[in-house]
Structure formats: C-alpha cells, structure tokens
Amino acid sequence: MSPFRRERPPVCLGPLASLPEDVPTRVGTSPPVAILRHGDTVHVFEDRCPHAGAILSRGTLTNEHLTCPAHKATFEIATGRSLGPIPCRPLRTYKSWTENNLVYHSPSPRPTRKSNASPCPNQP
C-alpha cells in the first residue's frame, strides 16, 4: 500500500454565469456544501449549521452574513466566522476559483485555526 494519500480532484460547479447570484444554493451532498455567488466571487461552505445541523442554504442572507433558519446563528460567508448570538465553531469553507470560465472548488475544506471559542452548545 502506498504511504501517499491520493488527492481528490477539484469539484466543478459549471460555468460562472450559470450559478445563481446572491442566493445560497446547495450543490453537493457528500459532504453537503452550498455556494453563494456574488458577481465574480463564489463562496463555498458547508451546508450544515455547526450548532445542530440545520440546512444553512435555507437561511436568510443579509449582505454576506447568513443566518441559520433554525436558531438564528449567523456566519460570515467569506471566512466562516461565527457572529453569534449562539457561540459556535466557524463554518468550514472551501477554496474556489475560475478556470476557462468554469468554477471549481477544493474537495477539502480550508484548515481552520484553533479557536478559543467555546464549542457549540447543545440544541436548545
């Protein structure tokens, strides 16, 4: 068995113009990820709320802040940072890029920094 782990290939999301603009949209299920296109920028993030697993793409978007439909935890889409009111770990985000007018994202989330934030509390 090889000691090297094989990298998974990037995930193609299709042409930039085909992605809905300013509407969080689920695009994958394993793991569930969602995209948010704003102009030429595409953010890719996990589509499960770190608090209790609600589907974030069904949440409310205000500027680039997404509020979970279940208990209103809010996240900054570009960085995944948790903005409260529930103290939660950050959202996992994925690097995305455009090549020959096709949008791709990394199959693995960006590494997250260790945080002193308390873990998500249990579901209320």
Binding site for ligand FES (CB under 6 A): 49, 51-54, 68, 70-73, 86
By beta-carbon proximity to ligand FES, the closer residue of 72 and 95 is: 72
In angstroms, give the least distance from the CB of 21 to ligand FES.
24
**Euclidean distance between CA atoms 80 and 33, whole angstroms:** 13
In angstroms, give the least distance from the CB of 56 to ligand FES.
7
DSSP string, 12-39: EEEEGGGSPBSS-EEEEETTEEEEEEET
By beta-carbon proximity to ligand FES, the closer residue of 38 and 71 is: 71
